[in-house]
Chain A
């Protein structure tokens, strides 16, 4: 194991899959000559050349659709959105073309495509650039969605996504690109299956379900809860939103009997709404308190720093929710 950044982990995943399969190519705005808006594709143009690392004009609908078309005839495109807030310009391709093709064609055309890029609020980017899109895309049958929070998960999930025969959205976290974590050596093939949650910290009193940028937040809250409140929180990282690993969730909840879901998206029809529905449906009698959710406030994201902070989930909000379900 060695310590690398989340950005480097993604870069390694791309490089390894490009080297492994000549049908894989990377396409998007500024991915080649600029080395990526967030430098995730650093050095790839130099290594793989302009045939496989392709700069596009600002035409999200156009190049996302190109990816779908190329996938129909056997290539395995990786389409980078500079942020998933821009994927709405390509919404029709991501929602109508990529995931519907297999059904509409009676099973003749699967679409092995990866859509990737940063997702969720970053820092003071305002309403148009701060969207957490997972709850929107999770509503669409035919899409798979993963949300890595650590360098190891970023590498393992992206590699799996590229090899998947379906459209997969890899929703990265802008604020974590420079974060560091332990990852297997480069000569180890690291593949993390889609649909497998992971317990990031063991605990016994309450399960905190989190994903993406709420994972470090949940770990920080769990640390404080342990030290200051003597509450032992289990931190469960979903890693994939769809497919959802209900088995691991239920296993944890059957131990703790209390749940707080902390999510980076909006509260109305958010990921936590679905997760809490599934938990209560399967084990209503196993719960000692109502499930609580900590999500964004239901407003367009304000630019002002204090207001933005008020909109987002926080360690303080999460601790308050945990204490509430523990009646502490």
Chain B
């Protein structure tokens, strides 16, 4: 049931491979202490974001939480810019000022990268509000984890979206754990999707290990929203193979559970589907995987060789003089935004 907005499956498989190989490299570089702060990996969940972007337009708004590397890559941010951001380099997608949890890419309609759990859900509603205000048919895709559904801002946002009939899809990436706390230990409902019913928002449960199911169900949801703005809720059931962050050994879950999901791996599954339909040979798959590995490896080299953000621009991003603009190709510096206030000691009185 391929729809006009859907993207080529082999291309999407190769995107899933890129995400996985990128995250593996990020993990390795984190352990080598090239990456600071927190680092949350997406391995295991690739079909969720790839299935979603395969079903939407490139100019639909996308916003997510802190496990965000894959969302930027899926949107078209280069692996180089993503890895450089982890290294805190000026060539990073947020110029090295955001880090792992704060990826932004205006050009590719990636609106972050938000690290306070559920604090971005109202932002998504505001973005959808803007679309409706301007009578655009854009849809906002708001990703968050199962940990977000018990925050007040999540509930306020769902109510507002339903009240104002705004074109937003709330996508709960249910990977069964909010850090180390399982859904059954955090949530009064048995089924997360039932949260939506309380706000009169239609809800759907989707197998997040199955790329095609994610894509097809999202296609249907997004299609229904375009002509008739309203919110929708998708609980996409998935699994992260790694811990919550790099410092988490994930001792709160069993090996058996992890193995069960690994056997249902989203990349393996899509590969098998394509192979069965004679759309992909083993050789082609190996070539795609090799390319993904090469891109990820090259991104490490790019990040290592990139410059640090210049110290003299420290105050350039605190206040904007002009509305921010998308970065021009290859532009690495912050000329777009001169300081409004500047350093405290240099306010008007320094003369």
| Chain A interfacial positions (CB closer than 8 Å to B) | 25, 51, 56-57, 59, 61-75, 77, 92-93, 96-97, 101-110, 112, 141-142, 144, 165-166, 195, 242-247, 249-250, 278, 282
Whether B112 pairs with A65 at a CB distance below 8 angstroms is no
In the assembled complex, the CB of A252 is this many whole angstroms from the nearest CB of chain B, namely 12
B71 interface contact, C-beta 8 A:
no
A97's nearest neighbour on chain B, judged by CB, is B119
Question: Would you give the 0/1 interface string for B312-351, flagging 1 where the beta carbon is closer than 8 Å to chain A?
Answer: 0000111111111011000000101100110000011101
Whether A65 pairs with B121 at a CB distance below 8 angstroms is yes
Which one of B126, B156, B159 contacts A67 once the chains associate, using CB atoms below 8 Å?
B126
Whether B94 pairs with A104 at a CB distance below 8 angstroms is yes
Contacts A72-B127, A108-B94 given: A96-B119 contact, CB under 8 Å? Answer: yes
CB contacts (< 8 Å) of A57 on chain B: these are 156, 159-160, 163
Give Cα A73 to B127, complex, Å: 6
Q: 21 A–B contact pairs at CB < 8 A?
A: A25-B133, A62-B157, A63-B160, A65-B125, A69-B125, A69-B129, A97-B114, A101-B112, A103-B97, A103-B98, A104-B98, A105-B104, A105-B324, A106-B95, A106-B96, A109-B112, A112-B323, A166-B319, A195-B341, A246-B348, A278-B349
CB contacts (< 8 Å) of A195 on chain B: these are 341, 347-348
In the assembled complex, the CB of B93 is this many whole angstroms from the nearest CB of chain A, namely 7
Question: What are the nearest 4 A-B pairs in CB distance?
Answer: A65-B122, A69-B126, A62-B156, A106-B95
Whether A246 pairs with B349 at a CB distance below 8 angstroms is yes
In the assembled complex, the CB of B138 is this many whole angstroms from the nearest CB of chain A, namely 9
Contacts A66-B125, A75-B133 given: A108-B104 contact, CB under 8 Å? Answer: yes
A62's nearest neighbour on chain B, judged by CB, is B156
Whether A102 pairs with B122 at a CB distance below 8 angstroms is no
Beyond A65-B125, A69-B125, A243-B341, 18 additional pairs, beta carbon < 8 A: A25-B133, A65-B156, A69-B127, A69-B129, A70-B126, A75-B130, A75-B133, A92-B153, A97-B114, A97-B119, A97-B120, A102-B319, A104-B98, A104-B112, A106-B104, A166-B320, A243-B340, A247-B348
Give Cα A105 to B319, complex, Å: 12
Give Cα A138 to B327, complex, Å: 30
CB contacts (< 8 Å) of B340 on chain A: these are 144, 166, 243
Whether B153 pairs with A65 at a CB distance below 8 angstroms is yes
CB contacts (< 8 Å) of B133 on chain A: these are 25, 51, 70, 75
Which one of B111, B153, B320, B337 contacts A62 once the chains associate, using CB atoms below 8 Å?
B153
CB contacts (< 8 Å) of A73 on chain B: these are 61, 111, 126-127, 130-131
A282's nearest neighbour on chain B, judged by CB, is B349
Whether B323 pairs with A165 at a CB distance below 8 angstroms is yes
In the assembled complex, the CB of A85 is this many whole angstroms from the nearest CB of chain B, namely 18
Whether A65 pairs with B119 at a CB distance below 8 angstroms is yes
Whether A242 pairs with B341 at a CB distance below 8 angstroms is yes
Whether A250 pairs with B349 at a CB distance below 8 angstroms is yes
B152 interface contact, C-beta 8 A:
yes
Which one of B102, B324, B347 contacts A107 once the chains associate, using CB atoms below 8 Å?
B324
B243 interface contact, C-beta 8 A:
no
B116 interface contact, C-beta 8 A:
yes
In the assembled complex, the CB of B326 is this many whole angstroms from the nearest CB of chain A, namely 7
Whether A102 pairs with B327 at a CB distance below 8 angstroms is no
A59's nearest neighbour on chain B, judged by CB, is B156
In the assembled complex, the CB of A149 is this many whole angstroms from the nearest CB of chain B, namely 20
Whether A105 pairs with B160 at a CB distance below 8 angstroms is no
CB contacts (< 8 Å) of B92 on chain A: these are 106
Give Cα A134 to B106, complex, Å: 32
CB contacts (< 8 Å) of B317 on chain A: these are 102-103, 106-107
B123 interface contact, C-beta 8 A:
yes
B124 interface contact, C-beta 8 A:
yes
B164's nearest neighbour on chain A, judged by CB, is A54
B317's nearest neighbour on chain A, judged by CB, is A103
Give Cα A138 to B313, complex, Å: 22
CB contacts (< 8 Å) of B119 on chain A: these are 65, 92-93, 96-97
In the assembled complex, the CB of A225 is this many whole angstroms from the nearest CB of chain B, namely 27
In the assembled complex, the CB of B29 is this many whole angstroms from the nearest CB of chain A, namely 20
CB contacts (< 8 Å) of B160 on chain A: these are 56-57, 59, 62-63, 66
Give Cα A275 to B152, complex, Å: 37
B203 interface contact, C-beta 8 A:
no
Whether B130 pairs with A93 at a CB distance below 8 angstroms is no
Whether A65 pairs with B327 at a CB distance below 8 angstroms is no
Which one of A72, A105, A165 contacts B123 once the chains associate, using CB atoms below 8 Å?
A72
Give Cα A104 to B316, complex, Å: 12
Q: Which residues of B in the span 6-40 have a Cβ within 8 Å of any Cβ on A?
A: none
Whether B104 pairs with A61 at a CB distance below 8 angstroms is no
CB contacts (< 8 Å) of B125 on chain A: these are 62, 65-66, 69
Which one of A93, A103, A108, A250 contacts B318 once the chains associate, using CB atoms below 8 Å?
A103
Contacts A102-B317, A141-B318, A165-B321 given: A108-B327 contact, CB under 8 Å? Answer: yes
Give Cα A96 to B322, complex, Å: 21
Question: Would you give the 0/1 interface string for B162-182, flagging 1 where the beta carbon is closer than 8 Å to chain A?
Answer: 010000000000000000000
B349's nearest neighbour on chain A, judged by CB, is A246
B113 interface contact, C-beta 8 A:
yes
Whether A107 pairs with B337 at a CB distance below 8 angstroms is yes
Whether A142 pairs with B319 at a CB distance below 8 angstroms is yes
CB contacts (< 8 Å) of B334 on chain A: these are 106-107
In the assembled complex, the CB of B111 is this many whole angstroms from the nearest CB of chain A, namely 6
Whether B153 pairs with A247 at a CB distance below 8 angstroms is no
CB contacts (< 8 Å) of B129 on chain A: these are 66, 69-70, 75
Give Cα A92 to B156, complex, Å: 14
Whether A104 pairs with B102 at a CB distance below 8 angstroms is yes
CB contacts (< 8 Å) of B114 on chain A: these are 97
